[in-house]
Amino acid sequence: MKIAVISPIAWRTPPRHYGPWERMVSLLVEGLIKEGIDVTLFATGDSITSAKLRYICRIPYEEDQEIEPKVWECLHISEVMEQAEEFDLIHNNYDFLPLTYSRLINTPMITTIHGFSSPQILPVYKKYNQKTFYVSISDADRSSELDYMATIYHGIDLDNFNFNPDAGEYLLYFGRIHHDKGTYEAIEVAKMSNKKLIIAGIIQDKLYYQKYVEPYIDNENVVYIGSIGPKERDKLLRKAYVLLHPINFAEPFGLSVVESMACGTPVIAFSKGSMPEIIEDGVNGFLVSDIAQMANRIKDINDISRSSCRKIVEERFTQERMVRDYIDVYKRILE
């Protein structure tokens, strides 16, 4: 079985800090290699992988403002499709653009839909619904207008997340700084509960940051530490009291939620999108409706077993389970 895997080129695969799609592609590819699958990864030239690496974009466009994203996206995707006949299967992790080639090649294509950035992209998925194969990353993120091969939850490498049986003292917000992710709401919860809040993540919306986040940063009660790498991420998550996840959108999957639980740290999240599929209310965290409920639940965090948080990740959200699920889908497609 020869598989071509398309990764985004916004960030390196795996990313140095932020880059959830690239991170999941890396975990999948490395897991497939361990299972003896012949994998060629199409990513940025600085990517680190055990697979065969092919690239046309040398470095991520988010790290070099001289790179025009649309131009290099076109070059990147066409590079894969021009070599399509070399592979038994193409696994697309680059959203809707590669679908437009699917009727021009004979190699079957599977697309992991990492979330719909806008309803406006749905017509592309609908057009190629009968030609390609779709995998959702949660049941909540499925469109009733599309057919799916499976729902495959993301998996993480547990070796990168150390379990801590003892709760820390600070509240943690871990994610991009954007209204969708509820940075401001996390600050409000911290103020209501009179607890220290640490914020980590890239600033995706500068105006939002300047208006709703920056005025509250005092480096004592509210601390912003920027975007962090894997080692710092592990330390930050396992030493937290609780992860706050007050999302303002139907999130397709919550990678930081799973990573937090892997360290033993419970999560309090707004009950939107995939959250009810990841969080078992009262077992590995709490599902709430607003900031008042979130602040009120903080006092109950010690009722959550940190070992239960870890156990649920071990049972449902590992890299090994994700890889097995994808191999099963690959086989079904090729048969």
* Greater model confidence, 17 or 299: 299
pLDDT band at 283 (very low <50, low <70, confident <90, very high): very high
Summarize pLDDT for 104-135 with one digit per residue, the tens: 999 999 999 999 888 899 999 999 999 999 99
229-262: pLDDT as tens digits: 888 999 999 999 999 999 999 999 999 999 999 9
Q: Is the pTM of this model over 0.85?
A: yes
Can you read off the two tokens belonging to residue 272? 């939107």
As a whole number of angstroms, the distance between CA 162 and CA 145 comes to: 41
Cα(314)–Cα(297) distance, integer angstroms? 25
pLDDT band at 142 (very low <50, low <70, confident <90, very high): very high
How far is Cα 160 from Cα 157, in angstroms, rounded to an integer? Answer: 6
What is the structure's pLDDT at 148? Answer: 98
Query: What pLDDT does 198 receive?
Result: 98
Average pLDDT value over all residues in the chain: 96
Average pLDDT over residues 252-274: 97
Mean pLDDT computed over 15-30: 94
- Show the domains of the chain with their CATH numbers: 2-155+319-334 (3.40.50.2000), 158-316 (3.40.50.2000)
| pLDDT over 90 (residue 305) | yes
pLDDT at residue 10 above 90?
A: yes
Could you read off the pLDDT of 44-63 as tens digits, one per residue? 999 999 999 999 999 999 99
Q: What is the average per-residue pLDDT within 284-312?
A: 97
Distance between the two ends of the chain, CA-based, in angstroms?
12
What is 171-240 written as a DSSP string?
EEEES-BSGGGTHHHHHHHHHHHT--EEEES-BS-HHHIIIIIGGG--SSSEEE-----HHHHHHHHHT-
Q: How far apart are CA 167 and CA 266, in angstroms?
A: 9
Share of the chain above pLDDT 90, in %: 96
Residue-wise pLDDT for 314-334, tens only, equals: 999 999 999 999 999 999 999
| pLDDT over 90 at 147, yes or no | yes
Q: Which has the closest alpha carbon to 174: 84, 85, 267?
A: 267
Residue 110's identity, in one-letter code, is I
